Structure 1
């Protein structure tokens, strides 16, 4: 009778397989520390840009004088966890904007990087919770990228933190000693974009316009979305058809982003970046294309960064880089001198907190416990969320479900993976709004645009929206799921007009209008108008309808 192989023999055979598998997985999860540094700078710059853009409508969207006063927010949304909802005064909200800007700047330069990342993430979630009606996919993606960044050594390179660590000889951030880091967190930040594209691809398969190649042509004739080059592209339907198929092909090729490594991965990532830059040049969809571009930075691995550094050395800017590094070192030294926290005492030696006494032993034990806890936090928590985002993505396309406890966790941190941008069907109509107001001394005025009343299609619909967030907000107000917000909007229009004009408005009627155009022959195939609400400006604030 043949004897079964011993446990030791089985282990010896499996060991090389496990090692090869581990190496392969690590190679695909690895993110270069220079990529993380560029990613950090990008996140900080995005946060500052986002705050500046939102500040243009600060009073309208985030105060009690705006379209969603806190009494309406608390009444309509069961749980609101937002610092921005503690006060409805413009000065208080502006102060939080300023704080968030300072923290975002600290993140960009890499000062107290992990703390700045966590605080920036929390402040962003707070801001987003203050008015869910103005959110888009870019907001969700930015928050998720910040979440993963909190578990990554973003400050290991090109940062004030790294300069301070070099100057003081302090302990390096865990995972930042080599050229790259391969952890559950690095896996998560890479999978985040893959999950977004793969989920969106499956949603797009449900729409006939995407599979027939007509989707982009319809999007480009939706004048409230397009601007710049987007206003010229409808003249080239064959090009738009090719762009539709190219985008679908890229979406379904997205799994290769984590299968490939090195230069091939960078080449595929560059194609995605090019597509998103094309979106930025043709469609006004706020910061979503730029957020996506920043999200691709970690996909450029060590060979790409090495080649970039060799190129810099060859063409001579290395002196400039050295001067900037010296300036950064000077800034790091200045910040270190201003830092009120005392330097951490070393564990060795015979100082008051070190040495061989009981206090020294207690401190060593506490330090070991904190280190172990930090390791568990930085590995176990990202591993859980990697599993949760994969489950959430599968559930959103009908291939499973997330456990109830997992759903609660994802809802708490706003990481549900529902990516239905332009899916299953793209935008097919041009939409605009009008709000004729009856003035107290007779006559009418469109109080939304402060213009003469006209329900006809404007020459350029895009310019009728002050910002992309206003377009998103008005689109949500027009939805049948948000009827209560129509009275909030009308009440705001009344109050804002009467605050800024000598002649008061007595009554406002809000209309949503649309026109559908055949993208191939330019003929109008459908047009209509809907009266969303007629509102008495002299009446009491209407909470719900």
Structure 2
């Protein structure tokens, strides 16, 4: 029997084969179906619009000079950030409405996939600008939305189900032939979602409350956070303990979101999505559950999208959707302004567009070889490699370090922190960790009018020290609750004066009888999980003279880290 000769060439072949198999295995796990990218694009754009609509309810309070954070205070307290916000150019309400409208129109362009890359970049810039305008109302959902949108800049979001795809290939509504794509952009956006879970898991595994199964029970006792089913579930403590353990198991196993493929991955993703949708109908935490679900869409493998496409064809949805894209394509302007052979709009799009078939770096290299005689094209190609490959790799390393720093594993270098701060990419993911509160919190603000009458300047009614039947109902929006929680607990002493001054001005604008002074009290029900009667305590946040200085000294007995 002859034996196959062994030697350096055989070893190289074996090594090469192992490397190829390993590379294919990695690619399967970081590749994203283009239909998943399209569904993600539509979801993110819709969430941007929903976020803008939600913020308009208290636009004057949070984003104008007549609100809780006028630009005078913003520039003083957050001077390192304000340079990045166009929302600080004017403190007038009309200017903010205009910027909201522009952001909404750009998000609409992103939704239909019109000039997708440019719409993504502009949407991200406007979102960062909006977040910088008032950091006091931000939550984990805002951070995740901002980061998903940032990584989307490096993804071909318009390669399917978009006006851009129809223009490239009018004969095919699906756009490109390659079903999946694996680039630094796909790696980064998938890791971003995974890092959120992993970092939060580390925080929670260090908590006795989470490890003992009591955390969700405590969360649902804080009824300033609960809505809908969340107002019923506190009675079912055993069920809430099960949810605590189930959630802990899921987030600890979250690396399987990347390690698994095919149907097993789809089932795990669906489990995560189901838990977040459960949060949507129980907890008043804004758009966070839907933002996470949008990010989870990227993990669904091709088998899911093949099934969804077949189902859409069988029920007759595919045809109308294609015809809708055709109509949108025919009506959308070309948006191409040029002089001679040089078109600025086209040049910008070529710089920011990623390839639909290959990686950005491969296409940039090919273009530079094919047109080396054109200096502008050569510079653009080299710049494109830098922007679409090197920069995202460096930023991904910094984001990983930022998450590791949040749990005490390492420290980000000073230069890296500056880059993260500039891009608003620092992360901690402490959601309800390490120990969530079970204390319901609300506010009472007695104020004295010039005629001697006492009113509640917060509610606009008489002063009532009793526990409200529904604490959640005392806040108009989740962002108002977040602001007041940060104002009361996070050691933001200046914001005590900012908020009191806002209440004085609001009352005096809306009423004939002037408000002369007020006192802001933070109220808490510390009765515990199984108490029959409330145990109400109050702490004075600030006593404020409405005719006095903008910032007034006060002594607060409630300066602790915000529990949320």
Aligned to 2:102: 99
Contact 1:135-1:469 at 8 Å conserved across structures = yes
**3-state SS in 2 of match to 1:297:** helix
What's the TM-score once normalised by structure 2's chain length? 0.88
- TM-aligned CA deviation for residue 262 of structure 1: 1.7
Q: 1:533-544 residue pairs with structure 2 within 5 A?
A: 533-542=542-551
- TM-aligned CA deviation for residue 17 of structure 1: 1.3
Aligned to 2:304: 304
Contact 2:221-2:438 at 8 Å conserved across structures = yes
Contact 2:467-2:536 at 8 Å conserved across structures = no
Q: 1:146-225 residue pairs with structure 2 within 5 A?
A: 146-167=149-170, 177-225=177-225
- TM-aligned CA deviation for residue 414 of structure 1: 1.4
Contact 1:164-1:333 at 8 Å conserved across structures = no
- TM-aligned CA deviation for residue 535 of structure 1: 0.7
- In structure 2, the CA distance between the partners of 1:14 and 1:37, relative to structure 1 (3 Å rule), is same
Aligned to 2:406: 396
* 1:487-514 CA distance string (max 9 Å, x none): 0001000001000111111111100010
Tell me whether 1:329 sits opposite 2:326 in the alignment: yes
Contact 2:34-2:159 at 8 Å conserved across structures = yes
Q: How many residues align?
A: 520
- In structure 2, the CA distance between the partners of 1:362 and 1:26, relative to structure 1 (3 Å rule), is closer
Greater CA drift, 462-471 or 444-453 = 444-453
The gaps in structure 1 that reach 5 residues or longer are: 347-359
* 1:123-153 CA distance string (max 9 Å, x none): 0000000011111000000000000111000
Aligned to 1:47: 48
Tell me whether 1:233 sits opposite 2:242 in the alignment: no
Contact 2:526-2:537 at 8 Å conserved across structures = no
Contact 1:195-1:417 at 8 Å conserved across structures = no
- TM-aligned CA deviation for residue 471 of structure 1: 0.2
- In structure 2, the CA distance between the partners of 1:473 and 1:345, relative to structure 1 (3 Å rule), is closer
* 1:380-430 CA distance string (max 9 Å, x none): 222222222222212211222222222221111111220100000012210
- TM-aligned CA deviation for residue 9 of structure 1: 5.4
- TM-aligned CA deviation for residue 206 of structure 1: 1.8
Greater CA drift, 382-391 or 126-135 = 382-391
RMSD: 2.3
- In structure 2, the CA distance between the partners of 1:257 and 1:341, relative to structure 1 (3 Å rule), is farther
Tell me whether 1:527 sits opposite 2:536 in the alignment: yes
* 1:77-124 CA distance string (max 9 Å, x none): 131221101111111111111110110100111000000001000100
Greater CA drift, 413-422 or 141-150 = 413-422
Q: What is the distance in 1 between the residues matched to 2:283 and 2:292?
A: 14
* 1:486-543 CA distance string (max 9 Å, x none): 0000100000100011111111110001012332x23458531111111111223227
Contact 1:511-1:533 at 8 Å conserved across structures = yes
What's the TM-score once normalised by structure 1's chain length? 0.91
Greater CA drift, 42-51 or 389-398 = 389-398
Contact 1:395-1:402 at 8 Å conserved across structures = yes
Contact 1:488-1:543 at 8 Å conserved across structures = no
- TM-aligned CA deviation for residue 36 of structure 1: 0.4
The gaps in structure 2 that reach 5 residues or longer are: 1-5, 344-369, 555-564
